[in-house]
Amino acid sequence: MAKPYVVGIDIGGTNTVFGIVDARGVVIASSSIKTQKHSKIEDYIDELHTELSRLIEANDAVDKIHGIGIGAPNANYYSGSIEVNVNLPWPAPIPLAKLVSDKFGIPVTITNDANAAAIGEMTYGAARGIKDFIMITLGTGVGSGIVINGQMVYGHDGFAGELGHVCMKRHNGRLCGCGRTGCLEAYCSATGVARTAREFLEIRTEPSRLREIEIDSITSKDVYDAAIAGDKLAKDIFEFTGTILGEALADFTSFSAPEAFILFGGLAKSGELLMKPLRESFEKNVMSTWKGKVKILLSELKEADAAVLGASALGWEAK
């Protein structure tokens, strides 16, 4: 009898979420660990093995896992490794597929976390029936998964789709975790929003709820809470962020003419605080060929499901 389950693992810069998934795409059970807890990759793999094994045993899935699929930052589908490390605490290259496969005794396939989210969205979410779209993940960093004619774009080396590292401010831009300056990720990620807050608080003088928080401790959630409460400076931070993201999506449209952009991740849950300036900026900056034609949609899947389900789909391919 064929093994009925796969495991999907989404490794984010903050949390690692994993789930057991059946052939219909139902997440049977899921759990998580902190990505940044261990300074050594071996210790991280040990904790992942302990917690995932506990989940597998609790759901009567021992010896029933066909394969493991992993979505992780800068994970290369072809090599099975994380070859460039930006938001993770371990030195690259990391032969992740081999490490996990050796630990579990189960075949493993990996891809970029944003690609995994795109696969999940295309199969189960807002991108069902859409053959040309770009997934944008707005979390600790900014990731993207590009789908053209129903196929994920990997490029010749497995690294296609690093739109978070397209340069938005070529002169005097912020330093990005990748080592370059002015990247989209430095402005439109959750950490980018917090950086904008610190800059605004230093430059501007008006009262703000954000001034009640230690400046180096401000998070994007703090900015959201202040904006919802009517704080003008916080609202302006979202206006600034949405404007830059809209400009970026307008440029990306010229590349692949997507039917839609799907936004996923914590920052995407900011609603109209982000979406209104984003849409206005997009329509202002996109070429006339595509004005009014491109949809900007929010993920229809629960917070972790897109990446977990997308990664799990890779588990069926693992051999």
CATH number at residue 246: 3.30.420.40
Residue 70 lies in a domain: yes
Tell me: do 84 and 192 sit in the same domain.
no
Tell me how many degrees the CA angle 293-240-167 measures, rounded to the nearest 5: 75
Q: How far apart are CA 263 and CA 285, in angstroms?
A: 19
Q: Examine residue 91 and say whether the peptide bond preceding it is cis (omega within 30 degrees of 0).
A: no
The pTM score is 0.84
Q: Are 193 and 241 in contact (CB under 8 A)?
A: yes
Tell me: do 184 and 275 sit in the same domain.
yes
Would you give per-residue pLDDT tens digits along the chain (319 residues)?
Answer: 478 999 999 998 889 999 999 988 889 999 999 999 999 999 999 999 999 999 999 999 999 999 999 998 888 999 999 988 767 889 989 999 999 999 999 999 999 888 988 988 888 889 999 999 999 999 888 999 999 999 999 999 988 988 999 999 999 999 998 899 999 999 999 999 999 999 999 999 999 999 999 999 999 999 999 999 999 999 999 999 999 999 999 999 999 999 999 999 889 999 999 999 999 999 999 999 999 999 999 998 876 677 788 889 888 887 6
Q: Are 68 and 106 in contact (CB under 8 A)?
A: yes
Burial class (CB in 10 A: 0-12, 13-18, 19+), 36: middle
Residue 233 lies in a domain: yes
Q: Are 239 and 277 in contact (CB under 8 A)?
A: yes
Query: What is the residue range of 281's domain?
Result: 129-298
Q: Give the SS3 label for residue 300.
A: coil
Tell me: do 281 and 228 sit in the same domain.
yes
Residue 124 lies in a domain: no
Packing angle, helices 232-256 and 190-203, rounded to 10: 130
Q: What are the residues facing 214 on neighbouring strands? A: none
Tell me: do 92 and 134 sit in the same domain.
no
Tell me: do 37 and 175 sit in the same domain.
no
Residue 110 lies in a domain: yes
Q: How far apart are CA 245 and CA 116, in angstroms?
A: 21
Q: Which amino acid is at 219?
A: T
Tell me: do 36 and 99 sit in the same domain.
yes
Tell me: do 93 and 79 sit in the same domain.
yes
Tell me: do 96 and 190 sit in the same domain.
no
Q: What pLDDT sits at residue 319?
A: 67
Tell me: do 222 and 144 sit in the same domain.
yes
Q: How far apart are CA 305 and CA 228, in angstroms?
A: 26
> Based on the structure, what is the number of domains in the chain?
2
Q: What pLDDT sits at residue 117?
A: 86
Tell me: do 80 and 137 sit in the same domain.
no
Q: How far apart are CA 82 and CA 158, in angstroms?
A: 11
Tell me: do 156 and 182 sit in the same domain.
yes
Give start and end residues of each alpha helix (H) in 213-299: 220-228, 232-256, 272-285
Tell me: do 173 and 292 sit in the same domain.
yes
Residue 274 lies in a domain: yes
Q: Are 186 and 192 in contact (CB under 8 A)?
A: yes
Q: How far apart are CA 50 and CA 55, in angstroms?
A: 9
Q: What's the Rg (C-alpha) of the chain? A: 20
Q: How far apart are CA 71 and CA 116, in angstroms?
A: 5
Q: What pLDDT sits at residue 304?
A: 61
Which residues fall within 8 angstroms of residue 53, CB to CB, at 6 or more apart?
Answer: none
Q: Are 174 and 187 in contact (CB under 8 A)?
A: yes
Structure tokens at 186: 């430095």
